[in-house]
Structure 1
Amino acid sequence: MNSIYFNWSRLRPMCWLLAAWICVLLVVWSPLSAFAAVTQIEESPGQMLYQSRQNLRDQTGKSWQVVAFKRIHPDGSAILSLRLVGFPGAVELDHTQPLTLTTSMGQTLTAKDVSSEISQDTPALANVGEYDIQPVLPQLHAEIPLQLTLPMITGSAIELQIPSTTLQEWQTISAP
Structure 2
Amino acid sequence: MKCRVRKFFSRLLLLGVLVLSISLISDILNTATAAAAIRQLEEAPGQVVYQSRETLKDQHGNRWGTIAFKRIRPDGKASFDLRLVGFPGMVEIDRTQPLLLTDSLGKTWKANDASANIFTDEIQPHVGQYDLQPLVTQLQTAIPLTLTLATINGEPVKLSIPPSLVQEWQTVANY
Determine the structure 2 residue equivalent to 1:43. Answer: 43
Give CA-to-partner distance per residue, 1:62-96, whole Å, 9 cap, x none.
11111100010111011110001111111111111
1:52 partner amino acid: S
Structure 1 residue 100 displacement after superposition: 0.3
Tell me what 1:113 maps to: 113
User: Any conservation in 1 of the 2:32–2:164 contact (CA below 8 Å)?
Assistant: no
**Pair 1:56-2:59 in alignment:** no
- TM normalised by structure 1 equals 0.83
CA contact (8 A) 2:35 2:164 kept: no
Using a 3 Å threshold, how does the CA distance of structure 1 residues 128 and 32 change in structure 2: closer, same or farther? Answer: farther
Counterpart residue number, 2:150: 151
Residue correspondence of structure 1 range 18-37 to structure 2 within 5 A: 23=23, 26-28=26-28, 30-31=30-31, 34-37=34-37
Name the CA distance, whole Å, in 2 between partners of 1:48 and 1:67: 15
Q: Taking structure 1 as reference, are residues 111 and 55 closer, same or farther at Cα in structure 2, changes over 3 Å only?
A: same
1:73 corresponding residue in structure 2: 73
Equivalent residues of 2:147, 2:158 under 8 A apart: yes
Aligned counterpart, 2:174: 175
Structure 1 residue 18: deviation in Å? Answer: 7.7
Mark the CA change 1:138 to 1:39 in structure 2 (over 3 Å): closer, same or farther: same
Query: Helix, strand or coil for the counterpart of 1:31?
Result: helix
2:8 corresponds to = none
Contact 1:83 1:131 in 2 (8 A): yes
Q: Report percent identity of matched pairs.
A: 48
- 1:138 and 2:129 aligned: no
Cα distance in 1 for partners of 2:21, 2:105 equals: 36
Deviation at 1:41, TM superposition (A): 1.6
Cα deviation for residue 53 of structure 1 reads 0.6
Shift of 1:130: 0.3
Q: In the aligned structure 2, how far is the partner of 1:89 from the partner of 1:22?
A: 43
Structure 1 unmatched ranges of 5 or more: 6-11
Give, in whole Å, the separation in 2 of the partners of 1:157 and 1:83: 16
Provide the alpha-carbon RMSD of the alignment: 2.8
What secondary structure does 2:34 align onto? helix
* TM-score, with structure 2 as normaliser: 0.83
Query: Which runs of at least 4 in structure 1 moved beyond 2 Å after TM superposition?
Result: 15-33
Q: Is the 8 A contact 1:55 1:65 kept in 2?
A: yes
Question: Following the alignment from structure 2 to structure 1, what is the Cα–Cα distance between the partners of residues 144 and 72?
Answer: 28
The answer as to whether partners of 1:37 and 1:169 remain within 8 angstroms in 2 is no
